[in-house]
Amino acid sequence: MARTPKAPILALANQKGGVAKTTSVASLGAAFAEAGKRVLLVDLDPQACLTFSLGIDPDTVEASVHDVLVGGTPLADVVHECDDGVHLVPSSIELAGAEAVLLGRPAREYVLQSALDPVRRDYDVIVLDCSPSLGVLTLNALTAATGVIVPMPCEMLSHRGVGQLLDTVADVKKILNKKLRVVGILPTLYDGRSTHAREVLEDVGSRYDLPVLSPPIPKTVRFAEAPAVGRSILATARSSKGAKAYREVAAGLLEQL
């Protein structure tokens, strides 16, 4: 009998804050779980917004991704089961100190990859929520990942920095992780009534020569309400436009993974 395959690992990265990385990780994770997949999410941001939004208090969490990366705790020991049907490796504010500690270590970019390896056959898909930087933690995410998704709001200014991110991805591919692939740009915070947003959406794929995931995620107030109850909008606003869009993107991703 064939062994269970290793789960693909998707990193959602963009060194800009506020582009809907965390919202997309929570929503795609919930959509994958709805589709019957075993899902592991990893919060790699010291601000721990993903952890908080999934109903876990990052200030009182017993062990976090920090203990895995810095202390060598087995990753399986810090996994939480969340109401959304996903498993989570939580973050905590301690993670802010991890960059400095890891900098002094050999093979510092490979720590997360090694930690995830023993659990990869326990899941169908693993999704990493990156912090808004291109530091050691994000390099760990890109080194562990099989695919990177770049969430990007459909506004002119949100383009800035994407070139730098893609340069980093190219370097990681060359030196640290040959298997890394850019899955595509995920257009977020999309206002279909705005001509400008439509123009940006049409232009962005050819500008960076990358696939653009479809459909774009509409801007809706529903997203602001979800984190307060520890569930993603796939649960709190099941049939909202935003939830539907994330389900469609997730279905498209499952087809190609």
**Residues lying near ligand ADP in the complex (CB under 6 A):** 17-23, 49, 132, 188-189, 217, 219-220, 223-224, 242
State the binding partner of 29 from Mg ion, ligand ADP, none, CB within 5 to 8 A by kind. Answer: none
Put the strands of the sheet holding 9-12 in their side by side order.
80-81, 87-89, 39-43, 125-129, 9-12, 147-153, 181-188
Q: How far is the CB of 138 from ligand ADP (least distance, A)?
A: 12
Q: Is 22 in the site for Mg ion (CB under 5 A)?
A: yes
21, 37, 66, 219: which one binds Mg ion (CB under 5 A): 21
Q: Could you give the CA distance from residue 190 to residue 59 in angstroms, rounded to a whole number?
A: 33
The pattern of x and - marking residues 25 through 64 that bind Mg ion according to CB under 5 A reads: ------------------------x---------------
Other CB atoms within a 10 A radius of the CB of residue 15 amount to 18
Q: Is 219 in the site for Mg ion (CB under 5 A)?
A: no
- Cis ω before 216 (30° cut-off from 0): no
Check the CA dihedral 241-243-248-253 and report its sign.
positive
Per CB under 5 A, which region of 20-28, 104-112, 144-152, 154-162 contacts Mg ion?
20-28
Q: How far is the CB of 92 from Mg ion (least distance, A)?
A: 15
Q: Could you give the CA distance from residue 65 to residue 102 in angstroms, rounded to a whole number?
A: 13
